[in-house]
Amino acid sequence: MEENNPIEPIYKETKKRITAWLGLHKGESFDLDLVCRQCELTSAQSRNYASTMLSKEVDKGSLEKNNKLYRYIDNTYKPFDFLNASDDPPLDIHFPVGADGTRFGFDGHIVISPGDIIVVAGVSNMGKTTFALDFLWQNMDNFPCFFMGNELFPAKFKRRIRRMTWNNHLREDGTLKFDITRRLNSWKDIIKPDHINIIDWINLDDNFYRIGSIIEGIQDKLHNGIALINLQKDQNKNLGMGGGFSEHLASLYLVIDYNRLTVRKIKEWVDINTNGKVFGFEILPGGHQFNNIRPLIRCPDCFGYGKKKNLPCENCLGSGWADIIIQEKPVFTDYINEVF
């Protein structure tokens, strides 16, 4: 009579646990210690079996090993069907307008399509929320909108929007024209795929590197809608928290400093390429609307440095930026040009 192999039950149980564990952790990276710990494989024998099984998965092409770290290879993909894509024109999105009618010049000149991400990175208390609310007010009559804020307080918000009298935020039946909630994390979980989703703002604590995957998760939830995302920015940096990771997926990336907006990135435009353009603005008392929006240039006196002979430039008051002044030609010059 053949004796039972005492190793067989250990091997089968190890294989069962490893197979189940791998099925639950697709797309993740891990090492042997993590697998054994979570599968409760404590004996040297079961650990050896686990190592052998993972090696076989590497040989089959299911796993990739780099030093001690395994990565689950996800070779599934969804076909990209662009032939049957809609031929509808880009979304007719409207951007903030100054109280005096001045504009940043984006309307009709840049292309915003379904699924696009707009990022507004700004220094604290310099106009990000003003931009987000004005963007909401400009579009809530034509698109379903969803506003998510992490600094929303009922009385303060009500007081602020009472000043935004250029559009009524209520329908005839007294209901809001947009959805609104206070949200501090996991924004992608409540994204409305066919809405304009406005997030003011994403707090990363010290995990700045996460912004790329956060934006990717938000974009993955979009269908016919878009998302405008506000980020905090250090006043000495050119990008929002997370640096280049915050910019990669953006179709439009705007940077707000003190009374200044810089067009960092426009992925697709109609006729005028405003990449790199800089605009000056003011914000009305109460922070509810822009005013005096105008193009700026590098200060011609200090060449954008903000200083002359180690003193603040008098022309730009140390900002490095100046208004574009269109000077009329002298009459005598006009006469000379006509003669010659």
Rounded mean pLDDT, 127-145: 95
Q: State the Cα–Cα distance between residues 76 and 71, nearest whole angstrom.
A: 15
**pLDDT at residue 340 tops 50:** no
H or E, element range at 145:
strand 145-149
What pLDDT, on a 0 to 100 scale, did the predictor assign at position 326?
A: 54
What pLDDT, on a 0 to 100 scale, did the predictor assign at position 330?
A: 45
What pLDDT, on a 0 to 100 scale, did the predictor assign at position 4?
A: 54
Strands of 217-289, DSSP E:
226-232, 252-257, 260-266, 278-283
Rounded mean pLDDT, 225-234: 94
- Residue ranges and CATH numbers for the domains of the chain are 7-72 (1.10.10), 117-297 (3.40.50.300), 299-340 (no CATH)
Burial class of 112 by CB neighbour count within 10 A (0 to 12, 13 to 18, 19+):
buried
- Indicate the pLDDT class of residue 189, thresholds 50, 70 and 90: very high
Strands 307-308 and 311-312 come out as antiparallel
For 276-299, write each residue's pLDDT tens digit. 999 999 999 888 899 999 999 999
66 phi/psi in degrees, rounded to 5: -130, 110
For 289-328, write each residue's pLDDT tens digit. 999 999 999 998 898 888 888 888 988 888 889 988 754 4
Mean pLDDT of the chain: 86
What pLDDT, on a 0 to 100 scale, did the predictor assign at position 23?
A: 81
Cβ-based neighbours of 206, under 8 Å, separated by 6 or more: none
**pLDDT at residue 68 tops 90:** no
**pLDDT at residue 196 tops 90:** yes
Q: Which tokens hold the place of 189? A: 């979980």
What pLDDT, on a 0 to 100 scale, did the predictor assign at position 191?
A: 96
Q: Which tokens hold the place of 71? A: 């990565």
pTM of the model: 0.74
C-alpha angle with apex 190: 185 to 195, nearest 5 degrees?
125
